[in-house]
Amino acid sequence: MGLFSQASGTKWTYGAVNAPINMHNSNMQQQKNIIDQARLFCERRKERLTKPRLEVLKIIAGSSKPLGAYKILEKLGKVIQSPKPPTAYRAIEFWQKKGFIHRIESLNAYVVCQAGHRHNGGQFLICDDCGTVIEAHMSDLTETVKNSVANNTFTPSSWNFEIHGLCDQCQPE
């Protein structure tokens, strides 16, 4: 089976090896786990876990939808007095470089990594109706990308693959 197969009409079925992770299923325990992982990460690597960094990660991890930088800044203002845009951007950049969050390029927004922060690229299924983002790790695609860049003597530092459509909850009956 390929990465996707068309089941009926325009409805596509996900057929990759790893199950996608759906942001519809975000919960408080998941947020707590991510924060705990971040604390441990910073402690082990002797990284500073500043209040803005921690709060930005909490904001992104606590959202069921991708958040833009100014929405993050707005929410940050509820827990830190008068934060400036560079404060939010530095925290976003920190977590993105460390693999805890991903930037959804087409939405200019951020989501928490749902896959243990052990990859350089992201593959996302984005619902154009409700805005849900599903982080889907398509192992076949990863191998295809690796082969392509190797054949072209190119070394990527990161990559992002996005597919837009309708999630299960938004598809017409």
Each residue's pLDDT tens digit, 87-117: 999 999 999 999 899 999 999 999 998 766 5
Q: Choose which CATH entry (1.10.20.60, 2.70.98.20, 1.10.1040.10, 1.10.10.10) describes domain 20-165.
A: 1.10.10.10
In the three-class reduction of DSSP (H, G, I as helix; E, B as strand; rest coil), residue 99 is classed as coil
**For the segment 9-49, what is each residue's pLDDT rounded down to a tens digit?**
333 333 333 334 444 445 678 889 999 999 999 999 999 99
**Tokens at residue 42, please?**
């910073």
- The predicted model scores a pTM of 0.77
Quote the percentage of the chain above a pLDDT of 90.
55
Dihedral class, residue 80 (left if φ above 0, else alpha if ψ from -120 to 50, else beta): beta
Nearest to 121 by CA among 134, 105, 137: 137
Which residues are paired to 8 by β-bridges?
11
